[in-house]
Amino acid sequence: MRVLIMTVASLALLAASALAQGGAAEPLEPRETVRIAYVPITKFGTLYVAAERGIFDAYGLDVQIERVASGTEAIAFLEQGQIDVGGIAIVVSLWNGWAQGLDLRVIAPGGLEPFEGSPTKLMLRADLADEITTIAELRGRTVAVAGGPGSGGEYLAAKALERGDLTIFDVNLVNVGNPDMPLSFESGAIDAGILGAPFADQAESNGFAVPFAEDLTPGLMTVAFVGSGRFVEQRPEAARRFALALLEASRLMQGDELFSPENLDAFLSYLPGTTAEALQSGAPVVYDPDQRIPVDGLADVERVHRENGRTAFETPIDLADVVETSFMEWAREQLGATVD
């Protein structure tokens, strides 16, 4: 394997050079169709850039991309063989499916949570700031999350509470939508809550709440590209080039290049209702230039939901059965890795 240490500029140059030369690997001949369903969020940006900048095409892939309303819909399409790859969130229902033999594999990461400066944080009601100074002192208090049992909000709450040796069962956990949380702080209905942008900023600027715990899950993968077992096992060459295209796209999205004119057009093509201004001022997302699947973080998500009794199984899932790293490893061999 070629192992390289690269600057942001050299990453973009390498990816652009590969694109200009027709790719870092031979295109498939004959060409193959890859059917993809995605939930329209910024974290699937590598898909948008690879499609709109001709990277899939350079590797002999004709991609058919369909927007869906939820990951549940994409999972159903994957099970039925209607699509090859789904861009979906890693939620409890997916873990339960894997435990029951669902034949899907994580083949590439979506955008990751920022390693620092995450816009999502645990907020504390402002008038409690002098009374409650540690996470442990939230015991018995009302803590709000957006989403029910097994949701991403609940996972983030669990990670925050772990810092005070608490679990979600040591607090009164309530489901409050993000837009309603600032007013819930103002009324005194909640003591703390997991809140993301722009609502966390709103609650703070209005004097309703203050940040209490930040950067709860640095580098966490909450969404991923998941391939059907048939795609992974029967069409490995197409899967390899799909991974390579995403890797190449990620390297065109580093630093100031993230919202270059070409990339911005790609995002806008796949995110209906989004504006350039909203994208450029939105919460930061990390697109790993090596597209490594953070297996340890994935295992932690499974552990927390399982220990909280949110799954239909009690024995830890063997992630080797649900994560397929070989395609992205092959892609890094073709393009070079940024770190060993």
Domains and CATH numbers, the chain: 8-114+220-335 (3.40.190.10), 121-213 (3.40.190.10)
State the CB neighbour count (10 A cutoff) for residue 264. Answer: 15
Q: Which two tokens stand for residue 90?
A: 């890693």
Burial readout 138-161 (b: 16 or more C-beta within 10 A, e: otherwise):
beebbbbbbbeebbbbbbbbbbbb
Element (H, E) at 76: helix 71-79
Q: How would DSSP label each residue in 30-65? A: S-EEEEEEE--SGGGHHHHHHHHTTHHHHTTEEEEE
> Per-block average pLDDT, block size 10, for the chain (340 residues)?
49 57 85 97 96 98 95 93 95 93 97 91 97 98 92 93 98 93 96 91 94 95 96 98 98 96 97 92 90 95 95 95 97 89
Quote the DSSP letter at residue 340: -
Distance in angstroms (rounded) separating the CA atoms of residues 297 and 318: 14
Tokens 């949110």 identify what position? 310
What pLDDT score was predicted for residue 178?
A: 87
pTM: 0.87
What pLDDT score was predicted for residue 196?
A: 87
